[in-house]
Structure 1
Amino acid sequence: MGKYGHWTAHGRLFDIGGTTRHSIARLIKGENVKFSGNIFEEDNGNGSLMRTLPLAFYLKDEENIEKLYQKVKEVSSITHGHFRSVFACFVYVIFAIELIKGKSKAEAYHHTQKTALELKEIQGFNPKEIQLFDRILKDDISKFPEDSISSGGYVVHSLEASLWCFLNSENYSEAVLKAVNLGEDTDTTGAITGGIAGIYYGFENIPKDWVDMLARKKDIEKLCEKLEEKLNNSNERKT
């Protein structure tokens, strides 16, 4: 995508995060995916968080949270290998899995907090890093005022913003519009919020005119069908 514009809306790449761009450059040169992602503190943009949601469907039956975390880490680290980005993706995937299982918003959020803090104890993660997630894991992010929610490209802010918008909405369009209206990195915040909102409210709750206006709608539908097919095949092998 970074080199040829594949999967861009109109065949032309107009924006890409620096961390993602550097990682793709390494992959093009033949670097192993295990070592392609940036690992420094300044490399904690939201690039891996915005693409990690499909993992929730693959990992929804994984009961070992350490194995689940490792899978999330492997996928995030293709572009974003710092702990902060990986852990944000883990929290997001756990929350999405609980929604897939039919939990209410409150139940899913409470279980996510419990699971993430449990993993922290098992793994002995750096307390200073975990503290950055206190507003999500120890407080209730939905109770914070809107003017305290940031929606730029920083991964922790993106996770906070998406959870805040979702937990404070009653339908898909309200959640996504809240995300976009926060400003700053609007497309990414909208995508991260829309992912969990889509799981919870269902495809039929997405406004039809929004779907009809999608660029490359047919290509996206085909990609969704391929994902569904792979998930079905994976489930069949497990049974």
Structure 2
Amino acid sequence: YGNTTIEAINRFERGYPVNECGGRDEYDNGNGSLMRILPLAFIPSITYDEIESVSGLTHAHPKSKISCVLYIEIAKSMLENNLEIEEHIQRACEKIQKHYEGVEYLEEFRDIFEMDFHVTEGRSYVIKTLEAVLYCLLETENYRDAVLKAVNLGRDTDTVAAITGGLAGIYYGDIPQEWIDDIPQMDYVLGICSDFENFCLKK
């Protein structure tokens, strides 16, 4: 975990209400909440407010919250529609622009809305991370290549690749078996997934 997350945990341990623990400063816009937010896409009735609240446990700045909502919108589009990646992104961006119209920080997502990416490395700043993720998806044609492209951007390789892999896994579903075989405690991981699936079915 990064500094923003440990600071949120420390606030919780000091007695802060759980929904007031996330950092709200400009420098709290790392990609930590974006990295863990994807499971919400599988909850049919999830709302923007709920996505924002889950981000806000650790990353409560509007930029982080909007990034998480946009990422979930793209994921949900992939789960629900048979479209090209570019179309999924466009649909999600249209919804975000409409919902957050007039919000102070929306203009900072302009390159994403216009799909005008200038990605040279994998950065930990949340909006730049999201740009890198979408760039990797648009520039490749399968799960393996998308994830490897994210890794090869350098810098924050693990997080950018994980976030890229989330969408690539939904869209392509072709995770290399040899990669899966190398995951430690795979039965434990599958058990968590099963528990979450059962939770979603009850929602």
Q: Give your verdict on TM over 0.5.
A: yes
**8 A contact 1:45–1:153 mirrored in 2:** yes
2:100 counterpart SS class: helix
Task: Show the counterpart of 1:140.
Answer: 115
How far is 1:216 from its partner? Answer: 2.3
Which structure 1 segments of 5+ residues have no match? Answer: 1-15, 63-67, 235-239
Verify: 1:54 aligned to 2:30, yes or no: no
**1:9 corresponds to which residue?**
none
Distance (Å, rounded) in 2 between the aligned partners of 1:89 and 1:170: 24
Structure 2 residue ranges without an equivalent (≥5): none
Q: Deviations over 1:155-190 (max 9, x none)?
A: 011100111111221111011001101010111001
Measured after TM superposition, the shift of residue 149 of structure 1 is 3.6
Measure the CA separation in 2 of the matches of 1:71 and 1:32. Answer: 16
Residue correspondence of structure 1 range 57-76 to structure 2 within 5 A: 57-58=42-43, 60-61=44-45, 68-76=47-55
Q: What's the offset of the Cα at 1:61?
A: 4.8
Deviation at 1:107, TM superposition (A): 2.2
1:118 is aligned to 2:98: yes
| Whole-angstrom CA distance in 2 between matches of 1:149 and 1:157 | 10
Deviation at 1:28, TM superposition (A): 2.9
Q: Could you tell me how far apart the structure 1 residues matched to 2:186 and 2:12 are?
A: 28
Q: Aligned-pair distance for 1:25? A: 1.6
How far apart are the structure 2 equivalents of 1:61 and 1:233?
11
Counterpart in 2 of 1:156? Answer: 127
The CA distance in 1 between the partners of 2:125 and 2:82, in whole Å, is 28
3-state secondary structure, aligned to 1:48: helix
CA distance in 1, matches of 2:160, 2:58: 18
Does residue 39 (structure 1) correspond to residue 24 (structure 2)? The answer is: yes
TM-score under structure 1 length normalisation: 0.81
2: CA distance, partners of 1:149 / 1:34: 35
Deviation of 1:69 after TM superposition, in Å, equals: 1.9
Aligned residue number for residue 11 of structure 1? none
Identity %: 40
Q: In 2, Cα distance between the equivalents of 1:166 and 1:149? A: 15
Q: Structure 1, residues 79-109: CA drift from partner, whole Å, max 9, x if none? A: 0000011011111011111001033212211
Amino acid at match of 2:111: R
Q: Quick one: distance in 1 between partners of 2:188 and 2:13?
A: 24
The 1-side partners of 2:140 and 2:146 are apart by 5
Match of 1:198 among 163, 169, 175: 169
Tell me, in whole angstroms, the C-alpha distance in 1 between the residues paired with 2:14 and 2:129: 30
Larger RCO (alpha carbons 8 Å, 6+ apart): 2
CA deviations on 1:114-171 (whole Å, 9 max, x unpaired) are: 10110122xx301xx212111101x124xx45xx343121101110011111122111
- Counterpart for residue 4 of structure 1: none
CA contact (8 A) 1:150 1:157 kept: no
Q: 2:88 — aligned with what?
A: 108
Larger Rg computed on CA atoms: 1
Q: What is aligned with 1:65? A: none
TM-score of the two chains, using structure 2 as the length reference: 0.94
Q: Shift of the alpha carbon at 1:201?
A: 1.1
SS at match of 1:117: helix
